Chain A
């Protein structure tokens, strides 16, 4: 909560800095158009320095098209690699961390079945954030839900509250961690929408590995690819009845 307030305070100044930086990055990108065309330019223009706070003008989200014939396990593998997961040596399978999993769904009545990746849904009204006693579970102003691992006391109330089973508890001492995702025994963790990559102007790892089946972008920007797709083709949220307004949307469910 404190973080949000600080962010609000600094938002005005950082937005000015941000627009200046975007202008400079934009100019550089425009100059290099012929050298490195495409997505890369857009991404560089959105990079954010560490000193710059996340802006509430942005709401990052994902749109998963389940109708596309994609091997979703590639997303799982990319996630595991990015965050250095699956490195437990003692934990049982039901104790191992999974940020993203492939869920197979079958309609008992019709026999129709499909698969889809499920990760933290980055809810606007996140139950995990509401129940966290210390404020370790938090929502960034740009909509990304994450855990402050210096503040998490390991009570696991957030895991009890999450309707998506999106969180895991670190059951043992871990080694071989990746630089961007420090993980500690006794803390809760979950998909952080690859916040390190997003802040660097890149797409989350699962998006990159999805062969275009997951689109990442700013839900607040009506002209972003994700907003356009949602406007044209619609999308659904898992357990929309709970009215948590997740940032992850699905097509074909």
Chain B
């Protein structure tokens, strides 16, 4: 194995400015959409008093969940001492921070009163899982920041394992916290499950790695750096394991709910008669987001970069669909004030709530991706995150 050499991406190139402009534009459009929503009020969105959290939350939670997952590659290197992943650890940590930033921007800008951020940062209710999450997110930023420092500043390299361990434990707690935002909502049948927290953790493994693979392959392609099959194939095999694990959890979650009489209603709603939610579940989440990527990653096309990229994109689309079904489908299904009774009211009791995402919501959500990718673009040019080469001769520990 040759010596690893990290190098900034050349900033003063047409390609760099193109990406900077593209991601900057997506971010600015997202911010403008948020301004439009805040200026007018949420009546301009598809959200309502029935569908309380909408498309921005699907994007935000996806990015936050993917953030902790993106750190996995670094954790495998530092915590589980797999040297093959060491060249990728810096990118992994940086991507985790960028994804979390993108997600939090969306979450913050969808608040009814984003101008009161200072209230959220100074007045705490420690019983609230949201409050825990505020500390988990800021703590994650700090710990991963220190972790990156120990990796990139040679005198502190000996602390990398400890910092990596701390970051790994923190990220598990963080995703547990994100899953628990829903898992502890006893009022709603879709969420009232302790399975949500571990399921969110395995979802984060899958979404984060898919995003990592795309950023890795994209950045090496557009900077004309060498990226060997050794590292890509290891990552894509790992992605396949994670996709299968999410699939397993989804099956257990729904079967468990089907066995429990008071959760059967929501489960049959999602699986059989939920309209758009049933479609998103079976077609996008299961077929396009789980089975097809598994086929692409483990089938005869397994070594084809385009197919690995396609599989990663599908995992992300499937993940978004999964969160859409959980978050919006879970709210659309009516709450039962009087279990077993038929109810109706002027406040939409007893009926499936309707929701169509509005353009500003989608643009704000995409803005989160824009912010993430803008940060990544700036970061790889500013600091030494990417190895100059990941050719097999460099990346493969067994290479002579």
Contact = CB atoms under 8 A, between A and B. Distances in A.
Contact of B48 (A95, A153, A173): A95
A104 B119 contact: no
B142 interface: no
B134 interface: yes
A170 B117 CA distance: 18
A189 to B, nearest CB: 10
B185 interface: yes
Contacts of B117: 153
A238 B127 CA distance: 24
A138 B53 CA distance: 22
Interface string A222-237: 0000000000000000
Contacts of B47: 95
Contact of B337 (A98, A118, A152, A169): A118
Nearest to B354: A94
A201 interface: no
Given A155-B111, A186-B41, A242-B186, A105 B341 contact: yes
A185 B123 contact: no
Contacts of A130: 125, 127-128
A247 B70 CA distance: 47
B40 interface: yes
A172 interface: yes
Interface string A144-179: 000000011111110111111101111111000000
A170 B119 CA distance: 19
A149 B184 CA distance: 25
Given A131-B128, A151-B123, A239 B112 contact: no
B343 A171 contact: no
Given A108-B341, A134-B120, A152 B112 contact: yes
B123 A135 contact: yes
A44 to B, nearest CB: 35
A141 to B, nearest CB: 17
A242 B188 CA distance: 11
A239 B134 CA distance: 31
Give chain B's interface secondary structure class: loop
Given A103-B344, A103-B345, A130-B127, A151 B52 contact: no
Contact of B112 (A105, A127, A134, A155): A155
Interface string B43-83: 10001111011000000000000000000000000000000
A242 B187 contact: yes
Given A134-B119, A169-B52, A102 B346 contact: yes
A186 B112 contact: yes
Contacts of A193: none
A92 B43 contact: yes
Given A90-B41, A103-B349, A153-B112, A165 B335 contact: yes
Contacts of A154: 111-113, 116
B241 interface: no
Given A101-B347, A133-B125, A156-B112, A168 B130 contact: no
Contact of A186 (B38, B187, B346): B38
Nearest to B38: A186
Given A133-B120, A185-B41, A238-B337, A165 B349 contact: yes
Given A95-B43, A104-B343, A172-B41, A135 B349 contact: no
Nearest to B127: A130
Interface string B212-252: 00000000000000000000000000000000000000000
A186 B52 contact: no
A198 B73 CA distance: 59
A165 B120 CA distance: 24
B256 interface: no
Contacts of A103: 337, 343-345, 349
B310 interface: no
A135 B119 CA distance: 10
B347 A170 contact: no
B131 interface: yes
Given A127-B187, A153-B120, A170-B112, A132 B349 contact: no
A95 B347 CA distance: 10
Interface in A69-116: 88, 90-92, 94-98, 101-108
A131 B130 contact: yes
A104 B338 contact: no
A169 B112 contact: yes
A185 to B, nearest CB: 5
B345 A102 contact: yes
A191 interface: no
B348 interface: yes
A88 B346 CA distance: 16
Interface in A188-246: 188, 238-239, 242
Contact of A108 (B337, B342, B345): B342
Interface in B95-148: 111-114, 116-117, 119-120, 123-131, 134
A88 B123 CA distance: 30
Given A92-B43, A157-B130, A186-B112, 11 more contacts: A88-B43, A94-B50, A95-B42, A107-B341, A133-B120, A134-B120, A153-B120, A155-B111, A161-B187, A170-B41, A185-B41
20 contacts: A94-B353, A95-B42, A101-B349, A105-B338, A105-B342, A106-B342, A118-B345, A131-B127, A131-B130, A133-B120, A135-B123, A135-B124, A153-B113, A162-B187, A170-B41, A170-B112, A172-B41, A186-B42, A188-B112, A238-B338
Cβ-closest 8 pairs across A and B? A154-B112, A186-B112, A163-B187, A133-B130, A172-B41, A94-B48, A171-B43, A135-B125
